[in-house]
Amino acid sequence: MLRNDLYRGVLVYGRTERIYRAGKRSQRRRDPSQWLRREAPEVRIVAEELWRRAHACMTKKAEAFKRAASGTLIGRPPGTRTSRYLLSGLAQCGVCEGSIFAYAQNHHAGARVGWYRCHLHATRGADICTNQVRVSMRAVDTLVLDAIERQVLDAAALDACLDEAVKLWEAEQTPAAAARAAVKTELRRVETEIAALEQQLVSGAPWTLIAEPMATRK
C-alpha cells in the first residue's frame, strides 16, 4: 500500500512492455521515466502529507543499511516487506544476483520440506538464470544462525561494537556541547553588562554614559 500510487490518487500506465525472448512472449519492466501518470483525486484514500511523511520515514530507515558496490541493499530495512523465512529475499543468487526465495513442497512421508533456490530461475526459467541448485532451508538456516551466534553474539564482539557506538555518540555530542557552552558564556557576559547598566541607572549616572554602550550592543 505504501508504494502503490493509486492510494494517493495517481493512476500509472505502461509499467511493463511485451517482448519476445527465445521465441517466447514475455514482459519487461520499463524504466520509471517512461511510465504515464494521471491524477485521479476521486480514488485517493491517503492524504498527500501523510504519504510524504511515510516515504520520508522509509527512506530514513533504508539509509541505515549498507549497500554493495553494485548498489544492492545489504540487509532488509525495517518497514519493508518481511518474510517468515530467514533468508528469503535477503540472500542473492551467485549466478544472476537475483533474490533467493524459499519454496516448500510436501514430502512423501507427509512432512513439508523447505528449500532455498533462485527466484528468477524458478519463475522465469533457465533463459534468465541457469542456476537450478536448491539447498535445504533447515541446513542453511542452521549454518547461518550458528555463525551469527559465534561471530556476532560473541561477548568480545558485542563489547567492541558498544565501545565503537559510544565513541560515535560522543563525537556527535562534542560540537553541540561546545556550542551550548559558548552560548551560556555569552549569555552570562550580557547579563553582567545589563546588571551594570541597571546599577548605573539607579545611582543616577548621566544618560549619555549609559546610552553609548547600549547603542554599541545593537
Name the most confidently modeled range: 76-80, 113-117, 148-152, 188-192. 113-117
| Ranges of each domain in the chain | 83-153, 155-217
- Those residues whose C-beta lies under 8 Å from the C-beta of residue 80, and which sit 6 or more positions away, are 58, 62
Q: Is the pLDDT of residue 53 over 80?
A: yes
Taking alpha carbons only, the member of 13, 50, 48 closest to residue 30 is 13
Residue 81: band (very low, low, confident or very high) from pLDDT cuts 50, 70, 90 = low
Residue 208's pLDDT band (boundaries 50, 70, 90)?
A: low
Residue 46 CA to residue 12 CA, distance in Å, equals: 16
98 Cβ partners below 8 Å, 6+ apart?
A: 92, 118, 119, 120, 129
Instruction: State the Cα–Cα distance between residues 16 and 174, nearest whole angstrom.
Output: 51
Neighbour-count burial of 91, counting CB atoms closer than 10 A to its CB (0-12 exposed, 13-18 middle, 19+ buried): middle
For 83-117, write each residue's pLDDT tens digit.
Answer: 678 888 778 888 888 888 888 877 666 677 888 99
Closest CA to 214 of 200, 105, 100: 200
Q: What was the pLDDT predicted at 117?
A: 92
- Rounded to whole angstroms, the Cα distance separating 120 from 99 reads 8
Do the Cβ atoms of 95 and 75 come closer than 8 Å? no
Q: For the residues of 172-210, what is the DSSP string, one character each?
A: HHHHHHHHHHHHHHHHHHHHHHHHHHHHHHHTT--HHHH
Judge contact between 200 and 184, C-beta under 8 A.
no
* pTM: predicted TM-score of the whole model, two decimal places: 0.41
